[in-house]
Amino acid sequence: MTVVAAVDLGASSGRVMRGRIGAEGVELTEVHRFANRPVRAGGTLHWDILSLYQGVLDGLRAAGAVDSVGIDSWAIDYGLLDSSGRLLGNPVHYRDERTAGVMERVNAEVGADLLYGTGGTQFLPFNTVYQLLTEGERLEHASTLLMIPDLLTHWLTGSVGAEVTNASTTGLYDVRSGTWAGGLLDRLGIPARLFPPLRAPGTSAGVLRPGVTEGLGGVPVTAVASHDTASAVAAVPAATDRFAYISSGTWSLVGVELPGPVLTEASRVAGFTNEGGLDGTVRYLRNVMGLWILQECLRAWGEDDLPALLRAARAARPFAAVLDPDDPSFLPPGDMPARIAAYCRRTGQEPPAGRPAVVRCVLEGLALAYRRALRDAVRLSAREVTVVHVVGGGARNTLLCQMTADATGIPVQAGPVEAAALGNALVQARTLGTITDIRALVRQSHEVTTYEPSGDLSPWDEAESHLGAVRT
């Protein structure tokens, strides 16, 4: 029996879980959860990194004696350290406007095909590469770039490294050679000295410094699949390789797992990313805007009873309006109900009236976006898919899970909800030699809920063609 602490930082909340893991199963207990509240200061949207670090320390204290600690978080964002190891400013949130227009300019100058052929990442305006190009002279003062989990690991242990699954989201990691993309860095004028040695998931990231958390000095810190989506995909309870996944939280990451990258022109145009997964796999997926839109609606309404809203949405009229959740107007924080209404007006549709109708419209838009992403993933990768695994907080959304099965015509298996923390804990246990087959253990220890498709694709086909018509 191994006991580990899994720190999982999502865009909406952070949690520390204690995992007790043996060959016969895994038991995960949440010992600490804290809100992740970005702060706008001086006109810039930041992550409150010290408050997150405090949450990690409190959680580790609550976890008590463990054999290992591992950290995963959202991707893309980073901290810069100066030559004495001090953090140069608070990490900036990927939803900050500082990258407006940068992607278009850089892609035109450097060439979208070079960027995609090297990094293999979906063109998203906030990718690390574009953020770095807004740093100006701060880059001259920086000597090291650390992705968020690597930064927290550095504070806990003193070690400096770049875990591969998260490095692969920067656009500056060569997805074919598995190294930092030196040539691309030169071409972009980004100093190569910033990028620390890479470390694979399942290797050591040092030990907890004495005094960092009482009584835990010397405990090993394991480099897990530190991109939360990579940890979540590692814990998908798939029994064969003919599966797709939707890692459903603030974002929805929709795709398949492959042995190698797909870097074709068609893949670039379709907006697919090739992110590094556990054991050298590739997470071939598309970012869909996700439950963020719903989170922001709840915030704007001052509403916190999501289950009640979802019950009401179930009874609302279907397809009151059809929206594309990936419309760029939904990316920044703000008054989401007003943005949805504006989107509908802009596309010649009557805005949904009332909260349940808005929620239904968002969920239908998401289910349609999942269907487009899944069909594209199958087409571009030639991977056959017979089941869709939904993991993450969105697995609790029974209405969305049913819509996903209905829209795609493929059975959905929902759960586990805490897949990222589970993948994190199980990679630690495997590294310590307690277990060998992560997915088999998840299947053994976690029930999934199955949603069979209704068999009638016609309302979804109609909604899709309506969307096609209003988008053009």
Q: Which residues are catalytic?
A: 228
Nearer to ligand LRH, 170 or 229 (CB): 229
Residue 161 binding partner per list ligand LRH, ligand ADP, none, with a CB distance cut-off of 5 to 8 Å that depends on partner kind: none
Strand stretches in 151-302, DSSP E: 162-163, 173-174, 179-180, 198-199, 203-207, 220-223, 243-248, 252-258, 273-276, 282-288
Q: How far is CA 211 from CA 5, 54, 60, 150, in A?
A: 18, 14, 13, 19
Q: Which stretch binds ligand LRH (CB under 6 A): 19-27, 84-92, 222-230, 350-358?
A: 222-230
CA angle, residues 413, 372, 403, in degrees to nearest 5: 45
Write each residue from 394 to 413 as x if it is in contact with ligand ADP (CB under 6 A), else as -, in one continuous string: x-xx----------------
**Binding to ligand ADP in span 295-354, by CB under 6 A:** 295, 306-307, 310
Q: Which stretch binds ligand LRH (CB under 6 A): 74-82, 96-104, 136-144, 218-226?
A: 74-82
Nearer to ligand LRH, 287 or 349 (CB): 287
Nearer to ligand ADP, 121 or 295 (CB): 295
User: Judged by CB under 6 A, which of 148, 181, 291, 412 binds ligand ADP?
Assistant: 291
Instruction: Give the end-to-end CA distance of the chain in Å, rounded to a whole number.
Output: 58
β-pairing verdict for 198-199 and 162-163: parallel
Q: Where are the alpha helices (DSSP H) in 353-457?
A: 355-381, 398-408, 419-431, 438-445
Nearer to ligand LRH, 276 or 351 (CB): 276
Mark 354-387 as b/e (b = at least 16 C-beta within 10 Å).
ebbbbbbbbbbbbbbbbbbbbebbbebbebebeb
Residue among 95, 96, 56, 91 nearest 77 (CA) = 91
Q: Does 287 bind ligand LRH (CB under 6 A)?
A: yes
Nearer to ligand LRH, 45 or 457 (CB): 45
Q: Does 76 bind ligand LRH (CB under 6 A)?
A: yes
Q: Classify residue 211 by burial, with Cβ atoms within 10 Å: 0-12, 13-18, 19+.
A: exposed
Q: Is the CB of residue 226 less than 8 Å from the CB of residue 149?
A: yes
User: Judged by CB under 6 A, which of 294, 367, 421, 438 binds ligand ADP?
Assistant: 294
Residues belonging to the chain: 472
User: Judged by CB under 6 A, which of 5, 205, 234, 253 binds ligand LRH?
Assistant: 253
User: Judged by CB under 6 A, which of 237, 255, 276, 392 binds ligand ADP?
Assistant: 392
Instruction: State how far the Cα of 450 lies from the Cα of 413, in Å rounded to an integer.
Output: 5
Size of the residue set binding ligand ADP (CB under 6 A):
17
Identify any residues that bridge with 413 across adjacent strands, giving them in sequence order. 389, 450
Tell me the closest approach of the beta carbon of residue 218 to ligand LRH, in angstroms. Answer: 30
Q: Does 10 bind ligand LRH (CB under 6 A)?
A: yes
User: Judged by CB under 6 A, which of 3, 11, 106, 233 binds ligand ADP?
Assistant: 11
Nearer to ligand LRH, 60 or 253 (CB): 253
Residue 6 binding partner per list ligand LRH, ligand ADP, none, with a CB distance cut-off of 5 to 8 Å that depends on partner kind: none
Distance of CA 84 to the CA centre of its chain: 31
Q: At what angle do helices 355-381 and 306-315 cross, to 10 degrees?
A: 80
User: Judged by CB under 6 A, which of 94, 130, 245, 460 binds ligand LRH?
Assistant: 94
Q: Does 56 bind ligand ADP (CB under 6 A)?
A: no
Instruction: State how far the Cα of 285 lies from the Cα of 354, in Å rounded to an integer.
Output: 33
Q: How far is CA 312 from CA 19, 39, 82, 239, 383, in A?
A: 36, 32, 52, 35, 37
Q: Which stretch binds ligand LRH (CB under 6 A): 186-194, 250-258, 294-302, 317-325?
A: 250-258
Residue 295 binding partner per list ligand ADP, ligand LRH, none, with a CB distance cut-off of 5 to 8 Å that depends on partner kind: ligand ADP
Q: Does 99 bind ligand LRH (CB under 6 A)?
A: no
Question: Could you tell me the sign of the dihedral formed by the alpha carbons of 166, 167, 170, 176, in that order?
Answer: negative
Tell me the closest approach of the beta carbon of residue 104 to ligand ADP, in angstroms. Answer: 27
Q: Does 292 bind ligand LRH (CB under 6 A)?
A: no
Instruction: State how far the Cα of 239 lies from the Cα of 207, in Å rounded to an integer.
Output: 35
Query: Cis ω on the peptide bond leading into residue 333 (within 30° of 0)?
Result: no
Which residues lie near ligand LRH (CB under 6 A)?
10-11, 74-76, 94, 227-229, 249-251, 253, 287
Residues that bind ligand ADP (CB under 6 A): 10-13, 249-250, 291, 294-295, 306-307, 310, 392-394, 396-397
